[in-house]
Amino acid sequence: MFFQNTWNAVSHFKIENRKISTVLGFAALGFIVMLLLGRMFTVMELRSLERDYRQNQSRFSYLEEDLDTSCRKYLVALKSEGVGSIR
């Protein structure tokens, strides 16, 4: 009788231990999935920011060239009117 009760307690402990291991395994798996999703979204956000930065740099260089062209045209127009030769 004593051994039978002991065996029941041991088998019950094994079943409970297996349940706990399963729960901990799923919790660890869920945590890893959350970390991977966070990493994926972070990489997507960084790529989006890099793309926006490159587009802004391209836009700035275009505006800078346009400004230089306008400045040269303005100086040529001033010189053609004779304003540039007045001291």
Buried b (16+ CB within 10 A) or exposed e, 64-85: eeeeeeeeeeeeeeeeeeeeee
Residue 20: pLDDT band with limits 50, 70, 90: confident
- For residue 84, pLDDT over 70 is answered with no
Q: Are 72 and 64 in contact (CB under 8 A)?
A: no
**Tally of CA atoms within 13 A in the half-sphere of 2 that contains its CB:** 0
Average pLDDT over every residue of 66-80: 87
Q: What is the pTM of this model?
A: 0.52
Q: What is the pLDDT of residues 23-59, one digit of tens each?
A: 899 999 999 999 999 999 999 999 999 999 999 999 9
Return the domain boundaries, the chain: 2-81
**Tally of CA atoms within 13 A in the half-sphere of 35 that contains its CB:** 6
